[in-house]
Structure 1
Amino acid sequence: MNHDLAGKVALVTGASSGIGAATALALSAGGARVAAGARRADRLKALADQARGELLPLDLDVTDQESVRAAVAATVGHFGRLDVLVNNAGVMLSGPIEGADTSEWVRMVETNLLGSMYAVHAALPHLLASKGTVVQVSSTSGRIASAGGGVYSATKFGVTGFAESLRQEVTTRGVRVVVVEPGFVATELIGHITDPARRAAAREMGEAMRTLQPEDIAEAVVYAVGQPPHVAVNELLIRPTDQTR
Structure 2
Amino acid sequence: MTPSTDPKVVLVTGASSGIGEATAGLLAERGHHVVLGARRTGRLKELTEAIRTAGGSAEYHPLDVTDAEQVRNFVDAARSRHGRVDVLVNNAGVMPLSKLEALRTDEWNRMIDVNVRGVLHGIAAALPVMRAQHHGQFVNVASIGAHQVSPTAAVYCATKYAVWAISEGLRQEVGGDIRVTTISPGVTESELAESISDPVGREEMRTYRSVAIPASSVGEAIAFAIDQPAAVDVSEIIVRPTAGQS
Q: CA deviation at 1:49?
A: 1.5
For the residues of structure 2 that align with 1:205 and 1:99, how far apart are their CA atoms? 20
Deviation at 1:80, TM superposition (A): 1.7
TM-superposed CA distance for 1:31, in Å, is 1.1
Structure 1 position 5, deviation (Å): 3.7
Counterparts of residues 1-245 of structure 1 (less than 5 Å): 1-6=2-7, 8-51=8-51, 52-128=55-131, 129-172=133-176, 174-207=177-210, 209=211, 211-245=212-246
**Alpha-carbon deviations, 1:181-202, whole Å to 9, x = none?**
0000010011110111221221
Gaps of 5+ in 1: none
In the superposition, relative to structure 1, how do residues 29 and 43 fare at CA in structure 2: closer, same or farther (>3 Å)? same
Task: After superposition, give the CA deviation of every residue in 1:206-225 in whole Å (9 maximum; x if it has no partner).
Answer: 23x2x111100001100000
Q: Which SS does the other structure have where 1:98 is aligned?
A: helix
Residue identity opposite 1:165 in structure 2? G
Deviations 1:128-147 (Å, cap 9, x if unpaired)? Answer: 31511100000000011122
Give unpaired runs (5+ residues) of structure 2: none
Cα RMSD after superposing both structures: 1.1
Contact 2:31–2:57, Cα closer than 8 Å, also in 1: no
Per-residue deviation, 1:171: 2.5
Q: TM-score, normalised by structure 2?
A: 0.95
| CA deviation after TM superposition for structure 1 residue 34, in Å | 1.1
Instruction: Say if 1:148 and 1:65 are closer, same or farther in 2 by CA, change over 3 A.
Output: same
Q: Aligned residue pairs: how many?
A: 241
Amino acid at match of 2:219: A
Separation (CA, whole Å) in 2 of partners of 1:130 and 1:46: 34
- Residue 110 of structure 2 aligns to a residue whose secondary structure is helix
Change in Cα spacing, 1:159 to 1:41, as seen in structure 2 (3 Å) is same
Provide the rounded CA distance (Å) in 1 between the counterparts of 2:198 and 2:188: 19
Letter in 1 for 2:244: Q
Deviation string 1:54-113 (CA, Å, 9 cap, x unpaired) is 211110000001111111111112222100000000000110001321010110000000
Segments of 4+ in structure 1 off by > 2 A? none
Aligned partner letter, 2:161: F
Specify the code of the residue in structure 2 equivalent to 1:169: E
Q: Identity of counterpart residues, as a percentage?
A: 41
Compute the TM-score of the two structures, normalised by the length of structure 1.
Answer: 0.95
| Cα distance in structure 1, aligned partners of 2:31 and 2:73 | 24
Partner Cα separation in structure 1 for residue 102 and residue 109 of structure 2: 15
